């Protein structure tokens, strides 16, 4: 592979003129001279006689090896005063050496692997507006899974190529993805494939700049000067004739102002200025407009670059289900163990969702590899348990017992995690560590002790940059900090949910939900059983807190209260996830069991049970496949409050519900009005709605007619049987039925007090919009002979789609 890579890249010096190439070969054949001065043997003339350029490269590598072949070639070209050509080749080779290996958390111990051997293809799509997404990233993973198969899938090596239908060239690509989803690894694989000559060979030069390193540059540089500091002298590059790609990885880690509207204009590649000004001018096309730009970011930071400066937005979605399985089967040599892990993950809701993130797959694999799938009761069932085991495994990788100083360092890092989480920071510099009383040398030592939790990297000029391996690890340690802060104090009752100044309240009130996962961990750690796993780390456990039963009871009461008050479906979903973390997901399970058995009938639902009902039947998070039907919510006294929760769920961007049966509930017109707000929302996918025996009258028909006229409404079947609509109600409903936006195919009006007058309204509507309705049920009404004749004529009309008319008297 190295031979192939060098041969592909050394073609730069093969651009030598005919006479120069002969001179180059002459140097290689001299038994005394430059080659011997460099400490190597010459290549016999017989081996080079008649050798073309590619053959010469082969002889070089076969004789000296890759590294020495480069060294010798560079020496000869310098002797020939043609070092620029070799600088280019050396630059390619350095990139290949840098990116061909990857470590999963333990790189400082030298346990790296070839990227080619472990890389699993990621699911990357075109799409997204590049605008800020304020949801927690785990919620984004949950909600985007439903879109799989609906968008254009892009291979990582095609990220800079126009998609079908694009009629303009692409200069700047913005690739989004949540933390740990694989953005940086995709960049690394792109560069490696290019450096090895396998893809994108129309690009002459690639310059990767991580934002976490650009943050540290305080001096002014020209663009040429910046390239020189990173990659060596770029004086040999003709920017006007060469295709150059700049990769800026990690926009979300950028601490530069990026003031696109007030920064000075710079168009000269040799003019020194701040890094911030260089970046904004590159992105705005003022500086080097012929260059290509690839920028990666987490969704929350995407709006730092105005959308007008971005030609294409792509999104890394991580692993789909087959890719997850591929990852675990690659990771485990034991096929039986891999199958057990995959099966267990499929049964754990939270873990199944998180495994769409490659880093979480690695965390899970690390835990399961150590546990070797013990008896069921010991297998991590929740996210909290998974991360506790992961923390314990890492602290035990060191042969010595965890000392007090090590414990102190973990707790200091937990404090750092909490403080920086509140600020929204994922990377930290030396000043951030000092704010938490962490000595930088101690942090460096600890990053060697616990490499799969906290890592140190050398940035520009070898400055140190610190981070947790993944955002979720930072969120877990932040929860450990809050737990430790509460234990042993007079107000030790945990969790401290009633105090508005405490972390739980802050998390619940977070507008963008950025503390959602932290809250799950925090409540999970409230259990004495989970605290016992960390007893070697925490100063106090168990005895200073309530029992599991007391904690669960208090927390359920509080979360139920919050569920009742909450209007955001995203917040409600997370509150139910919190119940799962404390083993109290029985609210949802109760509803599901009752629905399956039919015992829910004639039961009056409390508001929080209505929310649970919406979650259990509508939320696509329940494995193994999304729920698209919601049968069996009959006779539950599901009233106005329940309709409010249900409408909120229908409006949510995770909603995938297509069929809903609310028959035999006293919804009345007020309930239908609330449902209307959900039906017309662009996120609503509902196609079938059954409202038989729901107390709907003509007023409710107004709401339904308005819904049918909406472009956003997807209803194809509507059942209003056994409601006292009367002719006036049918007339109002017909105003929607006759609208060209109405796509209704089946309408059931059995037992609705419809007479000939109502039939006239229906016929008028179908004449206006004849292309959709196929089935009409008017049984147990009084249409009269004339009404039947009017509607029957539609069956014979070639313009009507009506196929079945039911009118049993």
Do residues 197 and 298 share a domain? yes
Tokens of residue 693, six digits: 């025996």
pLDDT at 663 over 60: yes
**What is the C-alpha to C-alpha distance for residues 543 and 435, in angstroms, rounded to an integer?**
32
Do residues 21 and 137 share a domain? no
Instruction: Quick: pLDDT tens for 73-126.
Output: 777 776 776 545 555 555 666 777 777 777 655 444 445 667 766 677 777 888
Do residues 231 and 273 share a domain? yes
Task: Report yes or no on 600 lying in a domain.
Answer: no
**What is the C-alpha to C-alpha distance for residues 324 and 343, in angstroms, rounded to an integer?**
12
Do residues 165 and 276 share a domain? yes
Do residues 73 and 205 share a domain? no
Tokens of residue 635, six digits: 């006779």
Instruction: Quick: pLDDT tens for 402-430.
Output: 677 777 888 888 999 998 888 878 888 88
Do residues 80 and 217 share a domain? no
Q: What angle do CA 110, 116, 119 make, to 5 degrees?
A: 90
User: What pLDDT band is residue 293 in, cutting at 50, 70 and 90?
Assistant: very high
Q: What angle do CA 720, 726, 727 make, to 5 degrees?
A: 110
Domain boundary among 296, 316, 336: 316
231 is in which domain, residue-wise?
A: 121-316
User: What pLDDT band is residue 129 in, cutting at 50, 70 and 90?
Assistant: very low
Average pLDDT, stretch 274-280?
Answer: 96
Partners of residue 175 on adjacent β-strands: 296, 314
Of 68-72, 304-308, 629-633, which has the strongest mean pLDDT?
A: 304-308
Residue 205 CB-density burial (10 A; 0-12 exposed, 13-18 middle, 19+ buried)? buried
- Of residues 61 and 563, the one with the higher pLDDT is 61
Task: Report yes or no on 390 lying in a domain.
Answer: no
- Of residues 77 and 702, the one with the higher pLDDT is 702
Do residues 35 and 127 share a domain? no
Do residues 153 and 87 share a domain? no
**CATH number of the domain to which 27 belongs:** 1.10.533.10
Instruction: List the end-to-end C-alpha distance of the chain, in Å, as a whole number.
Output: 82
Q: Are 332 and 365 in contact (CB under 8 A)?
A: yes
Do residues 89 and 132 share a domain? no
Do residues 303 and 165 share a domain? yes
Q: Are 226 and 271 in contact (CB under 8 A)?
A: no
The pLDDT of residue 90 is 56
Do residues 641 and 763 share a domain? yes
The phi, psi pair for 483, rounded to 5°, reads: -60, -50
**What is the C-alpha to C-alpha distance for residues 460 and 7, in angstroms, rounded to an integer?**
30
Task: Report yes or no on 573 lying in a domain.
Answer: no
Q: Are 708 and 680 in contact (CB under 8 A)?
A: no
Between strands 464-468 and 244-249, the pairing is: unpaired
Task: Give per-residue burial for 355-378: e unless 16+ CB within 10 Å, then b.
Answer: bbbbbbbbbbbbbbeeeebeeeee
Q: Model pTM?
A: 0.62
Q: Quick one: residue 746, left, alpha or beta (phi over 0 = left, psi -120 to 50 = alpha)?
A: beta
Task: Report yes or no on 630 lying in a domain.
Answer: yes
Q: Are 40 and 30 in contact (CB under 8 A)?
A: no
Which helix (H) or strand (E) segment holds residue 697: the answer is none
Comparing 30-39, 367-376, 731-740, which segment has the lowest mean pLDDT? 367-376
Tokens of residue 22, six digits: 């002969």
Q: What angle do CA 526, 529, 532 make, to 5 degrees?
A: 95
Q: Are 651 and 677 in contact (CB under 8 A)?
A: yes
The pLDDT of residue 86 is 53
Instruction: Quick: pLDDT tens for 334-384.
Output: 888 888 888 888 888 778 878 888 888 888 888 888 776 554 446 788 889
> In this prediction, what percent of the chain has a pLDDT beyond 90?
17
Do residues 168 and 95 share a domain? no
Task: Report yes or no on 396 lying in a domain.
Answer: no
**What is the C-alpha to C-alpha distance for residues 663 and 682, in angstroms, rounded to an integer?**
25
- Of residues 476 and 622, the one with the higher pLDDT is 476
**What is the C-alpha to C-alpha distance for residues 530 and 652, in angstroms, rounded to an integer?**
33
Please name the residue that has the structure tokens 């039911």: 806
**CATH number of the domain to which 643 belongs:** 3.80.10.10
Domain boundary among 505, 526, 555: 555
The pLDDT of residue 266 is 94
How far is Cα of residue 196 from the mean position of the Cα atoms in its chain?
29
Domain boundary among 316, 338, 367: 316
- Taking alpha carbons only, the member of 727, 731, 729, 660 closest to residue 696 is 729
Task: Report yes or no on 111 lying in a domain.
Answer: no
Task: Report yes or no on 349 lying in a domain.
Answer: no
Tokens of residue 51, six digits: 């050798």
Task: Report yes or no on 568 lying in a domain.
Answer: no
- When divided into structural domains, the chain yields a total of 4
Q: Quick one: residue 422, left, alpha or beta (phi over 0 = left, psi -120 to 50 = alpha)?
A: alpha
């Amino acid at each position: 592979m190295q031979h192939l890579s060098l041969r592909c890249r050394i073609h730069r010096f093969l651009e030598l003129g005919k006479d120069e190439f002969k001179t180059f070969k002459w140097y290689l054949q001299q038994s005394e001279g430059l080659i011997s001065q460099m400490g190597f043997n010459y290549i016999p003339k017989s081996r080079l006689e008649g050798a073309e350029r590619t053959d010469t490269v082969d002889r070089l590598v076969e004789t000296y090896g890759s590294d020495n072949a480069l060294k010798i070639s560079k020496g000869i070209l310098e002797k020939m005063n043609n070092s620029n050509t070799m600088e280019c080749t050396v630059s390619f080779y350095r990139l290949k050496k840098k990116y061909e290996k990857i470590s999963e958390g333990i790189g400082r111990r030298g346990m790296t692997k070839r990227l080619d051997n472990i890389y699993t293809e990621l699911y990357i799509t075109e799409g997204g507006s590049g605008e800020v997404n304020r949801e927690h990233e785990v919620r984004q993973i949950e909600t985007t899974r439903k879109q799989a198969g609906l968008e254009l899938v892009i291979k990582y090596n095609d990220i800079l190529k126009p998609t079908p239908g694009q009629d303009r060239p692409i200069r700047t690509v913005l690739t989004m993805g949540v933390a740990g989803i694989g953005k940086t690894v995709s960049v690394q694989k792109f560069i490696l494939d290019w450096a090895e000559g396998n893809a994108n060979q129309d690009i002459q030069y690639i310059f990767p700049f991580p934002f976490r390193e650009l943050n540290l540059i305080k001096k002014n540089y020209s663009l040429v000067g910046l390239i020189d500091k990173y990659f060596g002298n770029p004086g040999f590059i003709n920017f006007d004739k060469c295709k150059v790609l700049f990769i800026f990885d990690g926009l979300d880690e950028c601490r530069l102002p990026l003031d696109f509207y007030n920064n000075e204009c710079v168009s000269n590649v040799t003019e020194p200025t701040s890094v911030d000004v260089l970046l904004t001018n590159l992105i705005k096309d003022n500086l080097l407009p012929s260059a290509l730009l690839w920028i990666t970011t987490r969704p929350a930071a995407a709006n730092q670059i105005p959308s007008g400066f971005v030609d294409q937005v792509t999104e890394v979605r991580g692993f789909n289900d087959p890719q997850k399985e591929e990852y675990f089967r690659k990771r485990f040599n034991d096929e039986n163990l891999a199958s057990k892990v995959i099966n267990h993950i499929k049964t754990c809701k939270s873990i199944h969702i998180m495994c769409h993130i490659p880093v979480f797959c690695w965390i899970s694999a690390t835990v399961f590899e150590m546990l070797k799938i013990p008896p069921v009761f010991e297998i991590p069932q929740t996210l909290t348990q998974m991360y506790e085991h992961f923390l314990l495994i890492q602290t035990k990788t060191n042969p010595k017992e965890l000392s007090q100083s090590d414990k102190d360092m973990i707790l200091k890092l937990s404090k750092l995690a909490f403080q920086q989480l509140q600020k929204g920071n994922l990377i930290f510099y030396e000043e951030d560590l000092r704010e938490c009383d962490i000595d930088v040398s101690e942090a460096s030592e600890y990053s060697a002790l616990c490499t799969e939790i906290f890592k140190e990297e050398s940035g520009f000029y070898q400055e140190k940059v610190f981070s947790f391996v993944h955002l979720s690890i930072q969120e877990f340690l932040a929860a450990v900090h809050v737990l430790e802060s509460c234990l042993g104090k007079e107000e030790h009752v945990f969790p401290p949910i009633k105090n508005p100044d405490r972390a739980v309240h802050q998390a619940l009130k977070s507008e963008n939900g950025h503390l959602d996962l932290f809250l799950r961990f925090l409540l999970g750690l409230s259990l004495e059983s989970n605290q016992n796993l960390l007893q070697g780390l925490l100063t106090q456990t168990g005895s200073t807190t309530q029992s599991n039963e007391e904690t669960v009871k208090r927390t359920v009461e509080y979360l139920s209260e919050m569920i009742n008050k909450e209007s955001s479906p995203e917040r409600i979903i997370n509150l139910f996830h919190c119940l799962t973390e404390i083993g109290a997901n029985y609210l949802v399970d109760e509803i599901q069991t009752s629905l399956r058995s039919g015992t829910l009938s004639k039961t009056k639902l409390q508001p929080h049970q209505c929310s649970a009902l919406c979650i259990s039947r509508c939320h696509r998070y329940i494995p193994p496949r999304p729920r698209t039907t919601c049968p069996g919510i009959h006779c539950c006294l599901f009233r106005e409050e329940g309709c409010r929760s249900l409408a909120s769920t229908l409006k949510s961007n995770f909603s995938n519900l297509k069929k809903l049966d609310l028959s035999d509930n006293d919804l009345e017109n007020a309930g239908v009005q609330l449902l209307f707000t959900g039906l017309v929302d662009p996120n609503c996918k509902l196609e079938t709605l059954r409202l038989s025996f729901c107390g709907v009258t003509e007023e409710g028909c107004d709401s339904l007619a308005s819904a049918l006229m909406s472009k956003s409404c997807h209803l194809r079947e509507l059942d209003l049987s056994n409601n006292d609509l009367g002719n006036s109600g049918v007339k109002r409903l017909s105003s929607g039925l006759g609208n060209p936006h109405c796509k209704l195919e089946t309408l059931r009006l059995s037992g609705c007090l419809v007479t000939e007058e109502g039939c006239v309204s229906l016929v008028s509507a179908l004449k206006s919009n004849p292309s959709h309705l196929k089935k009409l049920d008017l049984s147990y009404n009084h249409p009269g002979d004339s009404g039947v004749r009017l509607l029957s004529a539609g069956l014979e009309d070639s313009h009507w789609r009506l196929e079945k008319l039911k009118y049993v008297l």
